[in-house]
Amino acid sequence: MPATFRTEAVVLRSIRYGEADRILHLYSRERGRIGAIAKGVRRVKTRFGGRLEPLFRVDLLLHEGRGELHTVTSADTVDAHPSLRERRDALERATQACDAVLRLLDSQEPNRAAYNLLCHELRLLDVEPAAATRAQALAFRLKLLLAAGFAPELAACASCGEREHLGAFSASAGGVVCPGCEAGSFALDRDAYSFLVMALGSPLTETPAASDRALGQADRAIAETLEHHAHIRLRRVAA
Ligand SMILES: [Zn+2]
């Protein structure tokens, strides 16, 4: 293992540590979830400037630590996402996206799909004010489930394989279910089902719109899947 390594990463969380240091939770392109300490960042003349704040996408040089934490040697900004910080709705969605990554992806194995998804989401929220919708936030969460290996079965009944009349969702079964397998499920309207299928299959920029009722059901399907299979509970996506 080299003593120093370079990686691109998104700052998920930044915590004050001591007089002038910060502990960073990072999601990196090359090493998945990593932790790092940035020394002296809170002094006036810091060589890191404001580059190690949450939501920054940065190119880092890190000195390999003996324990959990690496040490930041240098940091260059790839994307600061300046506009999303000025809009409360975008900032809230972006913070929730980082929180979901923080909770769901705790492995030091790289996951390029998850990393790219997070970068796309932050970029989209930064450049497209209309993107900070509940539908878009749910589409991100659904795609993150896919990247993490927990995507629900949507093409056929998750219990028996039946391909029609899939009007309910069961997280314990692993996705949509037919009337014969609907024990422990909740009703999933046709347009909630369509939303899940289309949101999973479309780019983030083409997230379909849906009614509040449909989005509420989609939110529940995603939340119960996260709880049942990934054992995490995220805050529901507010309207
Ligand atoms: Zn079935």
**Per-residue model confidence (pLDDT) at position 45:** 58
pLDDT for 227: 96
CA 208 to ligand 1 centroid distance, Å: 27
Note the pLDDT tens digit of each residue in 102-144.
999 999 999 999 999 999 999 999 999 899 999 999 999 999 9
- The pTM (predicted TM-score) of the whole model is 0.94
Confidence of residue 239 (pLDDT cuts 50, 70, 90): confident
Question: Which tens digits make up the pLDDT trace of 95-111?
Answer: 999 999 999 999 999 99
Distance 166 CA to ligand 1 centre (A): 8
For the chain, domain boundaries: 1-132, 139-239
What's the pLDDT at 125? 97
Q: What is the pLDDT of residue 67?
A: 82
| Residues sharing a CB contact under 8 Å with residue 26, sequence separation 6 or more, in sequence order | 9, 10, 11, 12, 33, 34, 35, 36, 60
Phi, psi (deg, nearest 5) at residue 133: -105, 165
Residue-averaged pLDDT of the chain:
93
Distance from the alpha carbon of residue 156 to the mean position of ligand 1, in angstroms: 8
Q: Which long-range contacts (CB under 8 A, 24 or more apart) does 17-26 make?
A: 22/52, 23/69, 24/52, 24/72, 25/102, 26/60
pLDDT of residue 65: 84
- DSSP assignment letter at 228: I
If you measure from the C-alpha of residue 164 to the centroid of ligand 1, how many angstroms do you get, rounded to a whole number? Answer: 9
First to last CA, the chain: 47
Sign for the CA dihedral angle at 127, 133, 136, 138 comes to positive
Note the residue count of the chain: 239
pLDDT confidence of 43, banded at 50, 70, 90?
low
What distance in angstroms lies between residue 8's CA and the mean position of ligand 1's atoms? 44
Instruction: Specify the pLDDT at position 20.
Output: 84
CA of 125 relative to ligand 1 center, distance in Å: 38
pLDDT band, residue 44 (cuts 50/70/90): low
Is it the case that residue 83 has pLDDT exceeding 70?
yes
Residue 199 CA to ligand 1 centre (angstroms): 23
Q: How far is the CA of 197 from the centre of ligand 1 (A)?
A: 18
30 secondary structure, DSSP code: T
d(CA 79, CA 93): 17
CATH: 3.90.1150.10, 3.30.70.980, 1.10.10.10, 2.40.50.140. Which one for 1-132? Answer: 2.40.50.140
Using CB atoms within 10 Å of the CB of residue 71, give its burial: 0 to 12 exposed, 13 to 18 middle, 19+ buried.
Answer: middle
* Whether pLDDT at 178 is above 60: yes
Report CA(193)–ligand 1 centroid distance (Å).
Answer: 16
- For 180-229, the pLDDT digits (tens) are 999 889 999 999 999 999 999 999 999 999 999 999 999 999 999 999 99
Asked whether residue 51 carries a pLDDT value surpassing 90, the answer given is no
How far is Cα 21 from Cα 231, in angstroms, rounded to an integer?
A: 32
